């Protein structure tokens, strides 16, 4: 099973600043990685797939990069609605599909 | 627009069977894998299993002995059964669509989630 490790667990950032979230895979997953955003009480929402492709309707301030075992989600200028939890997920080795434990972005 | 609507019992006693159903609206049931994912309160996401239009299934190995995912293509619905539940199975359960059948892919559409609590 591929283990996905996200860091940090909590990221404190001021509104308008840049946030950089990391995700590491226990072995190479190529670019088969997705990022999801989860607001309280809601289902996860797909943000990024194939490591760097924004899903439909996702603002340009969200960007993804990386390949192999190291991935990054960058939010260029944090808006109030962005202070929530983010998960990465690999879909290179299946089953099982595996998620990271999440990074909470909080207001500094 | 694709919508997943899910329902099922929200309160169970230990040893009972969890049963949830998810209906797919806005597109054909074929061409994708239909998944169940759960999230214990305050914790991360755990994939449970999936089923294709043709009935092919994949399950998480640690749950395989207790899980059955089935589908009713005439109704565009799929279901989850988890037997012998314990408090550790308390979670929000989501249904989700994984794109495509012939290649690994991500979860593009999700249901709203059903909180299932196991308590005596």
Rg (CA), chain A: 13
CB contact under 8 A, B60 and A96: yes
Contacts of B47 in chain A (CB under 8 A): 95-99
Please report the pLDDT score of residue B47 as a whole number: 97
Contacts of A101 in chain B (CB under 8 A): 44
Please report the pLDDT score of residue A97 as a whole number: 94
Run of H or E residues at B115: strand B114-118
- What are the tens digits of pLDDT across the range B16-48? 999 999 999 998 888 899 999 999 999 999 999
pLDDT reading at B72 higher than 80: yes
DSSP state of A82: G
Instruction: Tell me the CA distances in angstroms from A105 to A20, A59, B39, B69, B97, one per residue in order.
Output: 10, 17, 19, 35, 26
Q: Is B45 at the interface with chain A, CB within 8 A?
A: yes
Please report the pLDDT score of residue B100 as a whole number: 79
Nearest CA in chain A to B41: A41
CB contact under 8 A, A96 and B61: yes
CB contact under 8 A, A43 and B111: yes
Contacts of A94 in chain B (CB under 8 A): 58, 104
Averaged over successive runs of 10 residues, the pLDDT of chain A (108 residues) comes to 97 97 97 97 97 97 98 97 98 92 97
Rg (CA), chain B: 14
Q: What are phi and psi of B2, to 5 degrees?
A: -75, 130
Q: Is B104 at the interface with chain A, CB within 8 A?
A: yes
Nearest CA in chain B to A34: B106
Nearest CA in chain A to B57: A95
Contacts of B60 in chain A (CB under 8 A): 95-96
User: What's the sign of the alpha-carbon dihedral B7, B13, B15, B16?
Assistant: negative
Rounded mean pLDDT of chain B? 95
Nearest to A69 by CA among A100, A105, A39, A45: A100
Q: Is A49 at the interface with chain B, CB within 8 A?
A: yes
Nearest CB to B104 within list A92, A100, A101: A92
| Triad A20, A23, A27: Cα angle to 5° | 150
Nearest to A32 by CA among B71, B3, B100: B100
Contacts of A89 in chain B (CB under 8 A): 45, 106-107
pLDDT reading at B101 higher than 80: no
Nearest to B84 by CA among B29, B30, B15: B15
* Tokens describing residue B41: 């309160």
């Amino acid at each position: 099973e591929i283990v996905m490790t996200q860091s940090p667990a909590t990221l404190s950032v001021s509104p308008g600043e840049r946030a950089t979230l990391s995700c590491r895979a226990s072995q190479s997953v190529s670019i088969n990685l997705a990022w999801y955003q989860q607001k309280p009480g809601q289902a996860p929402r797909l943000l990024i797939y194939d490591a760097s492709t924004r899903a439909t309707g996702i603002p340009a301030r969200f960007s993804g990069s990386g390949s192999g075992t190291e991935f990054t989600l960058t939010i260029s200028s944090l808006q109030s609605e962005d202070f929530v939890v983010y998960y990465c997920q690999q879909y290179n080795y299946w089953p099982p599909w595996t998620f990271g434990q999440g990074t909470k972005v909080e207001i500094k | 627009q694709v919508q997943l609507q899910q329902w099922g019992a929200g309160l169970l006693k230990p040893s009972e069977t969890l049963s949830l159903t998810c209906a797919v609206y806005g597109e054909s049931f074929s061409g994708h894998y239909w998944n169940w994912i759960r999230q214990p309160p305050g914790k991360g996401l755990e994939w449970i299993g999936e089923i294709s239009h043709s009935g092919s299934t994949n399950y998480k190995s640690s749950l395989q002995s207790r899980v059955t995912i089935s589908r009713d293509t005439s109704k565009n619905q799929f279901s989850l059964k988890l037997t012998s539940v314990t408090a550790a199975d308390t979670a929000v359960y989501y249904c989700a669509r994984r794109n495509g059948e012939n290649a690994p892919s991500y979860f593009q559409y999700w249901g709203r989630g059903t909180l299932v609590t196991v308590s005596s």
